[in-house]
C-alpha cells in the first residue's frame, strides 16, 4: 500500500523567499521550507508533492488534480489568500483536510491582510510561526488524517 500523498501548494512570490522581505518572511528559501515539509511528512508516513505558482489558474488546476488522488492539501496561498475566490471554490471541492499556512501572521499586519477567503474552506490555519509553520502544518495534517 502506498503512502498517502499530501499536496503542498505555494502561491505567488513564494519563489522569492529568502530574498523578499526577510524581516517578515525569514531567510529560508522555498526549497528549504519544502525540505522541512518533506522531512515532517516522511516522519508521519506521508509522501509530499510540492507545486509553486504565481498564477491562480495553475493552483486551481493542481487542486482539481488532487481530488481523489491526494489525502490532504497544505496551502500557503500568499496574496491569493485575500481575494482568490477561484482557489476557495476549488478547495471546497476537495474532500480531505486542508491546512492554510502563512509564515507571518496576517492578522497582525495591514488591515487588507486580515480577511482570508481560504479560511472558510480550510480545516485550520497555521500562521505566524515562520519556518516552524511548515512542520506544524504537516503535524496537523497527519493528526487530521489519523482521525
- Picking from 89, 84, 118, 87, the residue whose alpha carbon sits closest to that of residue 101 is 118
State the cell numbers at 113.
Answer: 491582510
Given 33, 50, 102, 134, which residue is catalytic?
A: 102
Round to whole Å and give the CA distance between 70 and 109.
Answer: 32
- Please confirm, yes or no, whether 88 is among the known catalytic residues: no
Given 25, 50, 88, 134, which residue is catalytic?
A: 25
Round to whole Å and give the CA distance between 63 and 9.
Answer: 9
- Please confirm, yes or no, whether 25 is among the known catalytic residues: yes
Round to whole Å and give the CA distance between 138 and 4.
Answer: 12
- Picking from 85, 105, 92, 75, the residue whose alpha carbon sits closest to that of residue 14 is 75
- Please list the active-site residues: 25, 102
Amino acid at each position: 500500500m502506498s503512502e498517502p500523498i499530501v499536496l503542498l501548494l505555494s502561491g505567488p512570490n513564494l519563489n522569492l523567499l529568502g530574498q523578499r522581505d526577510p524581516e517578515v518572511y525569514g531567510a529560508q528559501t522555498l526549497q528549504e521550507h519544502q525540505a522541512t515539509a518533506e522531512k515532517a511528512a516522511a516522519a508521519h508516513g506521508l509522501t509530499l508533492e510540492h507545486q509553486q505558482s504565481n498564477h491562480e489558474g495553475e493552483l486551481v488546476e493542481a487542486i482539481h488534480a488532487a481530488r481523489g488522488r491526494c489525502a490532504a492539501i497544505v496551502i500557503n496561498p500568499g496574496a491569493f489568500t485575500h481575494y482568490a475566490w477561484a482557489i476557495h471554490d476549488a478547495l471546497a471541492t476537495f474532500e480531505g483536510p486542508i491546512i492554510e499556512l502563512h509564515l507571518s501572521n496576517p492578522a497582525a499586519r495591514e488591515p487588507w491582510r486580515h480577511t482570508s477567503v481560504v479560511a472558510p474552506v480550510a480545516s485550520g490555519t497555521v500562521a505566524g510561526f515562520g519556518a516552524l509553520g511548515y512542520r506544524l502544518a504537516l503535524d496537523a495534517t497527519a493528526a487530521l488524517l489519523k482521525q
